[in-house]
Amino acid sequence: MTKDDIGSEPLDPTGTGFAALGLHDALARATAALGYEEPTAIQRESIPPLLAGRDVLGQAATGTGKTAAFALPMLHHIGTSPDERRPVRGLILVPTRELAMQVAEAVHKYGRLLGTNVLPIYGGQSLQQQLRALKRGVDVVVATPGRALDHIRRGTLELGGVTFLVLDEADEMLDMGFADELEAIVAAVPTDRQTALFSATLAPRIRSISKRYLRDPALVTIANETAAPGKKPRIREVAYVVQRAHKAAALARVIDMESPTSAIVFCRTRTEVDELTETLGGRGYQAEAIHGGLSQEQRDRVLRRFRDGTSEILVATDVAARGLDIEHLSHVVNFDVPSSPDAYVHRIGRTGRAGREGVAITLAEAREHRLLRNIEQHTKRKISIESVPTAHDLRARRLELTQSALEDALESGGFEKYRAIVEALGTDHDILDVAAAAVMLADQTRDGGEKDDIDIPAVAVAQERPGFLQRADRKPTRTRMSGDVAKIWIGLGRLAGIRPADLVGAIANEARMTSRDIGAIDIADRFSLVEVPAATVDNIITALRGTTIRGQKVSIRRDRGATKG
């Protein structure tokens, strides 16, 4: 079957899906079967010129859909061959074995209805297995440069029939030292081929090789995503300023506050990776190390445990993490500020993929503030500078988690067998005291122990411009009150954009008080504490429960730590 046998008319030439781009019916149906409804930006901009036969130089961050952007036009052009022994007509070069496997799997799915035969070629795989597949004949080869060149020199990979060449993650291949291999491989491909080069950045060296390998390419650049006014960005970017000696302790506290489902922590060296992994393990986290000192078998084992959830934190060097594609990665952590904005873009592009939300965290020393500013200027996005959570913040967070777990238990039921204990205790004790004691025990079970009490000094950072890198310590605003005082806990904090003026205004307006009646305000990342006269606390809580602050509904209650001034 050839591409002409399945019809050249698109399914919906006036629509907005993949068929409207001009793809053949089989490919449009394949994308629909995979659940792809609308092309991403890089796909909308790249597919039409590639279908028209033009070369393309494309720039887009990881996770934006580059694979479909080049694979679908490639399959559209090459179709399948009726010959029993198929010559290779599509070649895709990628930096790592993980990416080779992922891209090959994607091309196989896209070309299923065309009967496309795809072969991944990479180091660490049986050479004989690759030789047998090549001898049978394949349509598309997805290869790492080193192994591809090995086959070319052996005479087992013939590229004389290649009509479509792709260099995927070209900047990564250059970073890994594959410039000479790329030169030799491209020289073995016919000059009248069509070429697509995709990169997360368009550094000068990328533009240099594009001039050598591409002919009058269409330039496709997808700008870094920015949130629409009034909407949260898809990736929350935050930096904590902390002294180097306290980074490990700060990271542990941030992890406890964030509760990531899966996270990658980037370090600069193998030694740092090993030391940090051991430190996190000693603190009770399921952390695994991955760096160039591991064998392929060890690397595969680590990734398997991380993907199946056995481990929750992957501590890695940049080189070791290249090509990794881990779904649902909730957090990326830079243990040090990346040395270049491009490296930062590469790292954080691993979270917040496929439309999901993600978190990018950077631990910065005070002297690194210029690097953070350079990153902001490069990405056109603001990095929120936060204070390292205090032990008080962490205890409050654990209480929130305990409360949430109790609410879930109350909704799901199944606690009837414990009623007898509660009833027996209720004969001698106040029932609220019994419940509070149970919550205390549950909270102590969650408590991380002595690590909560580690003193992490606040760091003052010079301001380069108004609002940039303010003091990293968090001090209450306004003065402490005297007399009988109560604290109100409000479930909105710095991450929701809350300012002291917002809280003062809401309380003053809704509870009909003056600002002089409001005491110290302490704003943490996810909650705020406000001092008010004890006699007014119930009235304030009732008034605020019916309103919003900065357009958000308010979770509010009396804080347990009421004090006398």
What's the pLDDT tens digit per position in 7-17? 333 344 444 57
Note every long-range contact of 455-460, with CB atoms under 8 Å and residues 24 or more positions apart, other chains counting: 456/242, 456/246, 456/249, 456/250, 456/253, 456/388, 457/243, 457/246, 458/387, 458/388, 459/241, 459/242, 459/243, 459/365, 459/366, 460/366
CA distance 162 to 139: 9
Report the alpha-carbon distance of residue 331 to residue 350 in Å, rounded: 9
Token pair, residue 185, equals 């491989």
Is the pLDDT assigned to residue 224 strictly greater than 50?
Answer: yes
Distances (CA, A) of 18 to 25, 33, 44, 211, 453: 10, 12, 8, 30, 55
Predicted pLDDT of residue 6: 36
The identity of residue 310, as a single letter, is T
Q: Is the pLDDT of residue 473 over 70?
A: no
Categorize the per-residue pLDDT at 462 as very low, low, confident or very high, splitting at 50, 70 and 90: very low
User: Is 409 in a helix, a strand, or coil?
Assistant: helix
- Which DSSP string corresponds to 239-253? EEE--GGGHHHHHHH
Q: What would the two tokens of residue 452 be?
A: 């909560």
SS3 260: coil
Tokens of 477: 């605003």
What does each C-alpha distance from 265 to 372, 379, 389 come to in angstroms? 18, 21, 18
Single out the residue of 239, 286, 282 nearest to residue 261, CA to CA: 286
Q: Domains along the chain?
A: 3-221 (3.40.50.300), 239-388 (3.40.50.300), 392-453 (no CATH), 484-564 (3.30.70.330)
Residue 493 near residue 528, CB atoms below 8 Å: yes
Predicted confidence at residue 117, as pLDDT, reads: 92
Please report, as a single letter, which amino acid is at residue 553: K
Instruction: Identify the pLDDT of residue 455.
Output: 61
Closest CA to 216 of 91, 60, 56, 59: 56
Answer for the pair 95, 144: CB distance below 8 angstroms, yes or no. yes
Work out the pLDDT band at 84, boundaries 50, 70, 90. low
pLDDT at 518: 86
Helix (H) or strand (E) holding 359: strand 358-364
Q: Which residue has the higher pLDDT, 235 or 352?
A: 235
Residues 6+ apart with CB under 8 A from 15: none
Rank 51-65, 143-157, 315-329, 427-441 by mean pLDDT and report only the highest: 143-157
* CA dist., res. 397 & res. 495, Å (int): 14
Please work out, in degrees rounded to the nearest 5, the angle formed at the alpha carbon of residue 358 by the alpha carbons of 281 and 498. Answer: 105
Q: Can you give the pLDDT at residue 519?
A: 84
Task: Tell me what the mean pLDDT of segment 528-539 comes to.
Answer: 89
Once rounded to an integer, what is the mean pLDDT over residues 78-93?
A: 78
- Report the DSSP beta bridge partners of residue 360: 237, 332
Q: Is the pLDDT of residue 320 over 80?
A: no
pTM for the model stands at 0.55
* Beta-strand runs (E) in 96-163: 118-121, 140-143
Separation CA 57–CA 74 (nearest Å): 15
pLDDT one-digit tens code per residue, 432-455: 888 888 888 877 765 544 445 556
- The candidate with the shortest Cα–Cα distance to 70, out of 107, 29, 17, 122, is 107
**DSSP for 474-541, written as a single string:** ---BSPPP-SEEEEEEES--GGGT--HHHHHHHHHHHTT--GGG---EEE-SS-EEEEEEGGGHHHHH
Note the pLDDT of residue 468: 40
How close are the terminal C-alpha atoms of the chain, in Å?
85
Over pLDDT 90: what percentage of the chain? 27
The residue type of 447 is: D
pLDDT for 465 beyond 50: no
